[in-house]
């Protein structure tokens, strides 16, 4: 993928759908600066918008407005890739969810299944939702490994309640989930949200 950026002093050309993408990133802690960056990115009508933590540092009202604008971009038939730790924003925007741990995608699937029923299937992804105040409010124990010193097997093993000897090998993705643990039917039902 190419990235066309106008040089300083040159007039900015309208982006060509085949050669450009628009990313959002700002180091400013100011919510208004963050939102201005989002608005500028949306003006170009790029076919693919990459939003990197677009709601970080915003208060709830600005988060809601930013989410609405991004959702409208996607609803207009254009693509949106949002990188975020804000699961509430992801739930409102995403059609599909990819959960990454230690640099790898560990779960990929439909947002409706992920945030509703049957819910996340990977232990790390489930831990992310369980850590939310509006859910179990239970943090995942431990810390993620250093990316430069990953273990040979599953990178989540040291924090995983389901780790077994099989987890000494990196799991291959099956049906969108990279994990050796397969819950029984009863365990899967117990993991479903109470209101599902
Ligand atoms: S592969 Fe093993 S350690 Fe890794 S998440 Fe699955 S059960 Fe846990």
For 12-63, write each residue's pLDDT tens digit.
Answer: 443 333 333 344 444 445 677 777 778 778 877 789 999 999 998 888 888 9
Closest residue by Cα to atom 6, ligand 1, is 179
Closest residue by Cα to atom 1, ligand 1, is 179
The rounded Å distance from CA 109 to ligand 1 centre is 18
Which tokens in the block code for residue 35?
Answer: 């939102």
Pocket of ligand 1 (CB under 6 A): 123, 154, 156-157, 160, 162-163, 167, 171, 179-181
pTM higher than the cut 0.85 = no
Distances (CA, A) of 45 to 17, 62, 131, 135: 9, 21, 36, 36
Q: Coil, strand or helix: which one is 75?
A: helix
pLDDT band at 74 (very low <50, low <70, confident <90, very high): confident
Spatial separation of the C-alpha atoms in residues 112 and 86, rounded to whole Å: 16
Q: What is the model's pLDDT at position 189?
A: 60
**What is the percent of the chain with per-residue pLDDT over 70, rounded to a whole number?**
77
Q: What is the model's pLDDT at position 7?
A: 42
Chain-centre distance of CA 9, in angstroms? 36
The rounded Å distance from CA 165 to ligand 1 centre is 10
Contact 129, 87 (CB under 8 A): yes
pLDDT band at 163 (very low <50, low <70, confident <90, very high): very high
Pocket residue to mutate for ligand 1, from 100, 106, 120, 123, most atoms within 8 A of Cβ:
123
Contact 90, 80 (CB under 8 A): no
Is 60 exceeded by the pLDDT of residue 8?
Answer: no
Strand order in the sheet with 48-52: 22-24, 48-52, 79-83
Contact 95, 79 (CB under 8 A): no
For domain 1-94, the CATH superfamily is P-loop containing nucleotide triphosphate hydrolases (3.40.50.300)
Higher-pLDDT residue of 14, 158: 158
| Main-chain dihedrals φ then ψ at residue 87, nearest 5 degrees | -70, -30
Q: Coil, strand or helix: which one is 128?
A: helix
The rounded Å distance from CA 78 to ligand 1 centre is 35
Q: Coil, strand or helix: which one is 83?
A: strand
Contact 31, 63 (CB under 8 A): no
Spatial separation of the C-alpha atoms in residues 88 and 82, rounded to whole Å: 13
Q: What is the model's pLDDT at position 192?
A: 60
Contact 38, 24 (CB under 8 A): yes
| Nearest atom, ligand 1, residue 154 CA | 4
What are the extents of the domains in the chain?
1-94, 99-196
Contact 62, 35 (CB under 8 A): yes
């Amino acid at each position: 993928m190419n990235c066309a950026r106008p040089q300083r002093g040159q007039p900015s050309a309208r982006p060509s759908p085949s050669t450009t993408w628009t990313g959002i990133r700002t180091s400013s802690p100011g919510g208004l600066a963050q939102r201005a960056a989002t608005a500028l990115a949306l003006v170009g009508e790029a076919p693919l918008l990459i939003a990197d933590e677009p709601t970080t540092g915003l208060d709830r009202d600005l988060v809601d407005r930013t989410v609405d604008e991004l959702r409208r971009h996607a609803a207009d038939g254009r693509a949106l890739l949002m990188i975020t730790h804000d699961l509430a924003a992801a739930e409102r925007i995403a059609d599909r969810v990819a959960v990454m741990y230690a640099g790898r995608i560990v779960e990929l699937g439909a947002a409706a299944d992920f945030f509703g029923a049957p819910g996340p299937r990977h232990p790390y992804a489930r831990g992310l939702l369980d850590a939310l105040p509006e859910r179990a409010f239970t943090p995942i124990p431990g810390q993620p490994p250093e990316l430069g010193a990953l273990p040979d097997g599953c990178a989540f093993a040291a924090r995983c309640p389901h780790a077994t000897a099989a987890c000494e090998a990196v799991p291959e993705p099956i049906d969108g989930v990279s994990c050796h643990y397969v819950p029984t039917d009863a365990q899967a039902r117990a993991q479903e949200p109470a209101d599902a």
